[in-house]
Amino acid sequence: MNIQKIRDEASRALGRKDVKYLIGYQKGSYGFRVSPAFFQTKEEVERLIFSPLCQVSLAPYLTLEEVLPLPGEEKQKASKVALLARGCDSRAINQLLAEKGIPRDRLYIIGIPCEGVIDRRKIEARFPSVTEPAEVREENGKYIIAIGDQSHEISKEELLADACKVCRYPNPLIYDKLAGDKVAPRQANYDDITSWEEKPLEERLQFWLDQFSRCIRCYACRNACPLCYSNVCILDRLDPQWVKRSNDTSENLMFHVSRAFHLAGRCVSCGECERACPMDIPLMKLNRKLEKDVNDLFSYEAGKDAESKSPMTTFHVEDREDFIL
**If DSSP codes are grouped into helix, strand and coil, which group holds residue 123?**
helix
17 near 42, Cβ under 8 Å?
A: no
**pLDDT tier, 143 (very low <50, low <70, confident <90, very high otherwise):** very high
In eight-state DSSP terms, residue 154 is E
Q: List helix spans (H) across the chain.
A: 3-14, 87-98, 120-126, 156-159, 162-165, 191-197, 201-212, 220-224, 249-262, 272-276, 283-298
**pLDDT tier, 69 (very low <50, low <70, confident <90, very high otherwise):** low
Cis peptide before 240 (omega within 30 of 0): yes
Give the pLDDT of residue 310.
87
Give the pLDDT of residue 75.
58
**CA neighbor of 90 nearest in space, from 229, 268, 313:** 268
Distance from CA of residue 18 to its chain's centroid? Answer: 26
**CA neighbor of 29 nearest in space, from 134, 149, 138, 137:** 134
pLDDT digits (tens, 9 = 90+) for 233-246: 888 777 778 888 77
Give the pLDDT of residue 68.
65
49 near 26, Cβ under 8 Å?
A: yes
116 near 155, Cβ under 8 Å?
A: no
Quick one: what percent of the chain has pLDDT higher than 70?
94
Q: E strand or H helix at 110, and its extent?
A: strand 107-111
56, burial (CB in 10 Å: exposed 0-12, middle 13-18, buried 19+): buried
294 near 263, Cβ under 8 Å?
A: no
Of residues 76 and 211, which shows the higher confidence score? Answer: 211
